[in-house]
A = this chain, B = another copy of it.
Amino acid sequence: MRTPTIRDVAKHAGVGVGTVSRVLNGSDQVREDTRKRVLEAINALGFSPNSAARQLSGGKTFTIGVVSPFFTFPSFVERLAGIQDVLDGTDYDLTLYSIRSTAQLRRRLGALMLQNRVDGLFILALPISEDETFSANPALPIVVVDDTVHVRRYPHLLIDNVRGGQMATEYLLQHGHTRLGFLGDRVDESFGFTSAQDRFKGFQNTLEAAGLPVNMNWCQFCLHGEDYARDAARDILIQPDRPTAIFAAIDTLAFGVLDAASDLGLRVPEDLAVIGFDDIQAAGFAKLTTVRQHLFQSGQRSAELMLDWLRTGHVPSENWSTVMPLEIVERSTV
């Protein structure tokens, strides 16, 4: 048997389709006994409104997209969880668009702008530029989270990476270290992340302000992945005059540093101090001292911005540009 439509319900309840629609959408223009009759018919037939038809007619999809780079990175997952957490209580579905390259990002955005598949879009940790892509549909609500190129066209949540680098470096200095190394991820050509660069800038600035030299032999930029990080850290640590502390621009890289240290028989924190960045869950397991950037909360905040926009119909003017707070989480690697 065909799945029942609104017309079947109308016939069964002895009313018109308009009335059924009104009941479905909670209009107060329906007499109580009529509403009851309609609800009974809906129940009797097991009717459930077809979502595509509703979308086509109403012009809303009740879907919000998340555009994000390959989302296994713990920092993306935690932000995503924050978004999901807020959206969960609403009518909106969350659709994932995983991106692997700038070309794919452009294509995706272009398509999403036009196809009316989503009512809104989160752009997570992807450097987007103020180009023509967006003009295709200027009305589409977009919230940008942790964008490295500061896009002023949409509301956004930013991480002050330079400041974070500064905090981590100051923390190491405060603990008596003067020989500091740095490990960052190499600029991914396909995306052009600059967060590690910015954190390095904070590192540099702080050292210079303290009158200390930046020893480039102690600074490495490696690809993502524990193995790369371990090798890079090893290269730093096998030098005769090795640093006594390393600032890893990402927690996952910090794990590689810890690995390398243990391979070389260096005790942490006695022989080598390590500080990371992000405070992903695994950082807690590993007792890693790190810079926390409140990933989950940044997801929640961005979802609230989005809902606000969708509800009111116009760009939220408050909190247009939010810089997320950072804080040092003291554990046992410094």
Which A residues contact B (CB, under 8 angstroms)? 3, 46, 48-53, 55-56, 61, 63, 70-72, 74, 77-78, 81, 84, 88, 93-98, 100, 111, 114-117, 136-137, 226, 252, 255, 258-259, 262, 281-282, 284-287
Contact assessment for A96 and B98 in the assembled complex, using a CB-CB cutoff below 8 Å: no
Given known pairs A77-B77, A282-B281, the reply for A3 and B114 (CB within 8 Å) is yes
Given known pairs A117-B93, A285-B286, the reply for A52 and B50 (CB within 8 Å) is no
Given known pairs A48-B111, A55-B52, A56-B52, the reply for A285 and B117 (CB within 8 Å) is no
How far does the Cβ of A30 sit from chain B's closest Cβ, in whole Å?
A: 22
Contact assessment for A285 and B78 in the assembled complex, using a CB-CB cutoff below 8 Å: no
Q: How many angstroms from the CA of A91 to the CA of B284 in the assembled complex?
A: 38
Chain B residues contacting A93 (CB-CB under 8 Å) are: 95-97, 117
Contact assessment for B285 and A114 in the assembled complex, using a CB-CB cutoff below 8 Å: no
Given known pairs A94-B96, A117-B51, A226-B285, the reply for A78 and B72 (CB within 8 Å) is yes
Q: Which of A51, A226, A258 has the most CB of B within 10 A?
A: A51
This chain: copies in complex: 2
Chain B residues contacting A137 (CB-CB under 8 Å) are: 3
Contact assessment for B88 and A81 in the assembled complex, using a CB-CB cutoff below 8 Å: no
Given known pairs A95-B63, A286-B285, the reply for A115 and B78 (CB within 8 Å) is no
Residue of B whose beta carbon sits closest to that of A262: B287
Contact assessment for B51 and A116 in the assembled complex, using a CB-CB cutoff below 8 Å: yes
How far does the Cβ of A212 sit from chain B's closest Cβ, in whole Å?
A: 30
Chain B residues contacting A100 (CB-CB under 8 Å) are: 88
Chain B residues contacting A285 (CB-CB under 8 Å) are: 226, 252, 255, 258-259, 282, 285-286
Chain B residues contacting A84 (CB-CB under 8 Å) are: 71, 96, 98
Residue of B whose beta carbon sits closest to that of A110: B48
What are 25 A-B pairs at a CB distance below 8 A? A3-B114, A3-B137, A48-B115, A49-B115, A50-B115, A52-B55, A52-B56, A52-B61, A52-B116, A70-B81, A71-B81, A71-B84, A72-B77, A74-B281, A77-B77, A84-B96, A88-B100, A93-B95, A93-B97, A94-B95, A95-B96, A96-B96, A259-B287, A285-B285, A285-B286
How far does the Cβ of A270 sit from chain B's closest Cβ, in whole Å?
A: 15
Q: How many angstroms from the CA of A287 to the CA of B226 in the assembled complex?
A: 12
How far does the Cβ of A98 sit from chain B's closest Cβ, in whole Å?
A: 5
Chain B residues contacting A136 (CB-CB under 8 Å) are: 46
Chain B residues contacting A46 (CB-CB under 8 Å) are: 114, 136
Q: How many angstroms from the CA of A281 to the CA of B95 in the assembled complex?
A: 24
Residue of B whose beta carbon sits closest to that of A137: B3
Chain B residues contacting A70 (CB-CB under 8 Å) are: 81
Q: How many angstroms from the CA of A281 to the CA of B226 in the assembled complex?
A: 10
Interchain CB contact (< 8 A) of A50 among B56, B63, B259: B56
Chain B residues contacting A78 (CB-CB under 8 Å) are: 72
